[in-house]
């Protein structure tokens, strides 16, 4: 080992490495081309086996109708097989997904994403939680200011009414007072 802690020098020169990489890439390209040709040949053989060429010349109308019915039946059979295969594939994909989840659960190690601090206003949070149901504004400072102003006004009104409590009791004790209570109570509901 080197005292510097670097990787040990390879015994193969850079030009030799490059030539080996080029040979490997060339061989991989040749293999891919050969596989593609093999697939094409296999497809041709399969189609010749399953679909012999049609002889339509010299057939009567009844023979053509029978041939069409036979072809239609074959199409139905192939379509059923295709549907079955697609269903099996989707079922297997679901099973694979469930097994992956089980493996993750058994492993117990989940990668937790790094969370960022995000400043979200109260309006945005309510919109995110409630969606389209959220209509009102949640500007809390504006609400506090308006409440403060209303409290001051109410205090002034209360002090002016509370001046002589006997007058208020006398006014409320008769029928007029009860009528006023019912009128104000009914208006609130």
The string of pLDDT tens digits covering residues 108-157 is: 766 777 888 878 777 777 777 777 665 666 556 665 655 545 555 565 55
Question: How far apart (Å, rounded) are the C-alpha atoms in residues 9 and 14?
Answer: 11
- Evaluate whether residue 115 is within a structural domain: no
Q: Is the torsion defined by CA of 91, 97, 99, 101 positive or negative?
A: negative
Give phi and psi for 58, each to the nearest 5.
Answer: 80, 10
For residue 182, give both structure tokens. Answer: 């019912």
- Evaluate whether residue 127 is within a structural domain: no
Residue 161: pLDDT over 60: no
pTM beyond cutoff 0.85: no
- Evaluate whether residue 130 is within a structural domain: no
- Evaluate whether residue 44 is within a structural domain: yes
Winning range, highest mean pLDDT, from 1-10, 27-36, 66-75: 27-36
Tally the domains of the chain: 1
What value does the mean pLDDT of the chain take? 78
CA angle 163, 165, 170 (to 5 degrees): 130
Residue 110, judged by CB atoms within 10 A of its CB (0-12, 13-18, 19+), counts as exposed
- Evaluate whether residue 29 is within a structural domain: yes
- Evaluate whether residue 26 is within a structural domain: yes
Residue 84: pLDDT over 90: yes
- Evaluate whether residue 156 is within a structural domain: no
- Evaluate whether residue 45 is within a structural domain: yes
Lowest pLDDT segment from 46-50, 64-68, 124-128: 124-128
Domain that holds residue 67: 18-51+61-109
């Amino acid at each position: 080992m080197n005292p510097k802690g670097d990787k040990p020098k390879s015994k193969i020169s850079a030009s030799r490495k490059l030539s080996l990489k080029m040979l490997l890439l060339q061989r991989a390209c040749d293999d891919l081309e050969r596989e593609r040709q093999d697939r094409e040949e296999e497809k041709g053989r399969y189609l010749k086996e399953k679909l012999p060429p049609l002889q339509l010349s010299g057939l009567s109308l009844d023979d053509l109708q029978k041939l069409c019915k036979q072809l239609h039946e074959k199409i139905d059979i192939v379509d059923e097989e295709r549907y079955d295969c697609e269903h099996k594939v989707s079922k297997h994909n679901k099973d694979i997904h469930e097994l992956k989840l089980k493996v993750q659960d058994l492993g117990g190690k989940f990668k937790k994403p790094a969370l960022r601090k995000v400043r979200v206003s109260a309006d945005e949070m309510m919109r995110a939680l409630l969606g389209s149901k959220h209509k009102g504004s949640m500007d809390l400072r504006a609400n506090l200011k308006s409440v403060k102003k209303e409290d001051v006004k109410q205090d002034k009104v209360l002090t002016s009414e509370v001046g002589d409590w006997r007058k208020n009791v006398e006014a409320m004790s008769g029928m007029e007072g009860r009528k006023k209570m019912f009128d104000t109570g009914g208006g609130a509901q």
